[in-house]
Structures are given as structure tokens and as C-alpha cells.
Amino acid sequence: MKKLKINKIKKKIAILHDDFSICGGGEKLISILAEELAKKGKEVDIYTFSTGNKTKKIISSSIKIIPLLSKKPEKEYPFLQKYMFAKLNLKKRYDFYIFSGHASLTAVENCKPNIWYCHNIEKAGIPKIQNYEKKNEIEKIWALLYFLKNKITRKTIPENLALSIDAVRLMPKDILYSLKIAKNAHKLNERKAIKNIDKIITNSKNIQTKLKKKYNRISFINYPPIKTSEYNYKKNKGYWLSINRIVPLKRIELQIKAFSKLPNEKLYIIGDKENKIYYEKLEKIKPKNVVFLDVVKEKELIKKLSEAKGLIFTAMDEDFGMAPVEAMASGKPVIAPNEGGCKETIIQGKTGILIDNINEDKLAEAIKILGKNPEKYKNACLKQAKRFDTKIFIKNMLKHIEK
């Protein structure tokens, strides 16, 4: 009888997700998780740094989403996300807490029992050295010094020290804010936060291995959810699809250069133009047969996938990659790099082509090969996608929560 009573309890669950102002795989996963938990009778609220107009395209209106900031700042403040979550106190307001991302972990002290769903592994204290990001002279010098320091010593700066140094170095931008961050740097230390996590779930073997290496913590794999029943196969209309956030790590320039060599093929790129400078660079080099569509509603995305020849995916060492599985759920093959999460989802020669040391020439060649008869991959793709169905994901999550 006791078990029956426990199962009937309507648990209140808080999901703390870094940022919903961007729209990527992590945001889609959390929106599906929240919806499915609500269907199972759980009361679910999502706490996040900020939201945007595009958020509404991927999350159900029935889910309560609470931003820590009413409006995202126009300029970026390093560690502001972590600082805002560190100030959040939800103690005893919920029965269970699910963390998603890295910044949200700073709220963990007052949020137990809990689970951390780990999408990726970040390296703390290291400046973002990307060719497409604006940097003032101080940032350029700092990035160069950090690069040279690592090259000479071959050791990374301890995390606590890195946080404090970053805060101090940013003082010219905002002295009061930087002083607050420097004062509270110990609260923002990810390693300390992770010690307060009861159980860790990772999205792939790829991240499970990296997590063990960095934090020496055991984790459980639960692949991201794909609503396979909502996807469908239709005869292709002669175009290829690319689904990814527009950021340098997705290596979208490889796609553009490959299609520049294939003027008779067409590519639609769907995704949040997160890095405006990178997007502008891509716009300048793209040929007429490549079109950017921005973020689209889920129904439109499903339609586009159903009528595509296949999916082009070029992300660097992708943590998991939901888009390739969505494509396979539509009976469409995938061309991707032979690295990261793609090695766990795509079957070489059966559901697509995995490319070693990918470049635009190899990508163009793979498009030619796969494009001759993309229909032959249909059945294998549909079968493989079922391994990642939402029902499996939710069943596993509920098991972990109840335990």
C-alpha cells in the first residue's frame, strides 16, 4: 500500500536551465522533459537566466518558465548567469530539482534532492578564442597570454583562481559588478557545486567519458528524447537540410564551401543566428543555392525534414546531436563528421556517411554519393531513430527521480 501512495504523490519539480534566450538541442530537450513530466502528473516550473521571442517556438505554453532577468543584457558579462543562479534560493519550495547546463549549478546548495543532466563539458577560466567574435585590445592580449601560458607550462589555471582573475581583469568594463563576482568567486566554482549533486545523467558515452576524466564522477547515460511518432517520411523535393545554432563550433562554412562546388544542389540552413558576426561572415561567402531560414516552428521543421534529401551536420566533436536523430526519424540519411556523439547515433553506410577529418571536398563527395539514391537508407534510419524515442528517455528519467 505504501508504494501505491508514494506513486500517487504529485511531486513539484523545478528545472534550472542556463539560458532559454537561445534555441538549440539543450533547450529542446528541456522543453520535452518538462512537457512529458507534466503529462505524468508532475508540477513543473523552469527557472532560466533569460528568455526570448524564439523560446515560444520550442516550448509549450502550458509550462511555466521563470526568467531570472526580465531582459537579457545588451552586452555580455562573464559569469553573470552563474552569479544570478547563485543568488536563487528555492529551498523547500520543490520536492525535486533537475539541473541543466553549468551556470545553474551555482544554485545547487539549496536544491536537494537533485539530478544534473549534463549536456557537455566546459573548460573554466579559458577565454573564448574564436575568429568570428569581437574583442577589444585587452581581450586580445589576455587570450594571447593565456594561450602562451598553456603552451609553455602545459597546465591549466586552477578553477577558483581563474574565476577571480577573470573578474579582476574585467573591472574596466564594470567595476562594481566585477568586485561582486571576485568576492563571490568561491560560490561559482563548478567542482564544489558538483559535489552537491546527488546523481549525474549524461547525454552520451562521449560526455560520460569526459565527465569521468574531469570530475571523477560516475554518471548514467540517458540519450536525449526524440518524438519519433511526430516525424514522417515523404518523397524528397530536391534539397538538403542543415539544423544547428549559427556558431563557429558548428563549422557551417564547410557546408557553404561544399555547396559552392555543387551548384545543382540546394541547402536550407535552419537555426538560431546566435553569433551575429559569424553569421555575417557566412552570408558574405554563401552561394545562391544556400539559404538561411533562422529558427522555425516545430511543425515547419518536421515538414522540412520529411521532404529533404538528407541532413548535413558538421559540428565539431558534437556532444550528442539531436538533429541527426530527427533526420533519421524522418527516414532521411545523415552526412556528419566521424567524431563525438555522431559515432553513437549514425551507422556508417546504413543510416548515412561518417567522414574522417572532414573538409569541404570530402563533404561535397559524400553529398554526391548519398544523393544518388537517398531513399535506400529509409528503413535503416527509421529503425535506428527508435532507439532514441521520448518514451525511453522519460521512463529512464522517472526511474532516476523516484530512486
Amino acid 148: pLDDT: 62
Give the pLDDT confidence score for residue 83 in this predicted structure. 83
The pLDDT of residue 59 is 73
Find cell 549524461 and name the residue.
202
User: Of how many residues is the chain composed?
Assistant: 403
User: How far is it between the farthest Cα atoms of the chain?
Assistant: 68
Q: Specify the residue for cell string 555580455.
A: 76
Q: What is the pLDDT of residue 402?
A: 86
R_g over Cα of the chain: 22
Strands 114-118 and 199-202: parallel
Give the count of beta carbons closer than 10 Å to the beta carbon of residue 105.
28
What is the grid cell recorded at 350? 546504413
Q: Which CATH number fits domain 2-125+187-221: 3.40.470.10, 3.40.50.2000, 3.40.440.10, 1.10.3720.10?
A: 3.40.50.2000
In this prediction, residue 149 carries a pLDDT of 58
291, 295, 300, 302: CA torsion to nearest 10? 100
The confidence score (pLDDT) of residue 31 equals 92
> What does each of the 403 residues of the chain score in pLDDT, given as a tens digit?
344 344 444 689 999 999 988 878 899 899 999 999 999 999 999 999 988 877 777 777 778 899 998 777 766 666 788 888 988 999 989 999 999 999 999 999 889 999 999 999 875 444 443 444 445 555 566 566 656 655 555 555 565 566 556 555 554 555 555 555 555 555 567 888 899 999 999 999 999 999 999 999 999 999 999 999 999 999 999 999 999 999 999 999 999 999 999 999 999 999 999 899 999 999 999 999 999 998 898 899 999 999 999 999 999 999 999 999 999 999 999 999 999 999 999 999 999 999 999 999 999 999 999 999 999 999 999 999 999 999 999 999 999 998 7
**Do 2-125+187-221 and 228-388 come out as alike in CATH topology?**
yes
Domain map of the chain by residue range? 2-125+187-221, 228-388
Provide the pLDDT for residue 178.
Answer: 54
CB 311, CB 335: distance < 8 Å: yes
Angle between helices 159-169 and 175-183 in degrees, nearest 10: 170
Question: Taking the model in full, what pTM does it have?
Answer: 0.79
Distance CA 12, CA 4 (A): 18
How far apart (Å, rounded) are the C-alpha atoms in residues 38 and 294? 29
113 prior amide bond cis, ω within 30 = yes
CATH architecture of the domain covering 228-388: 3-Layer(aba) Sandwich (3.40)
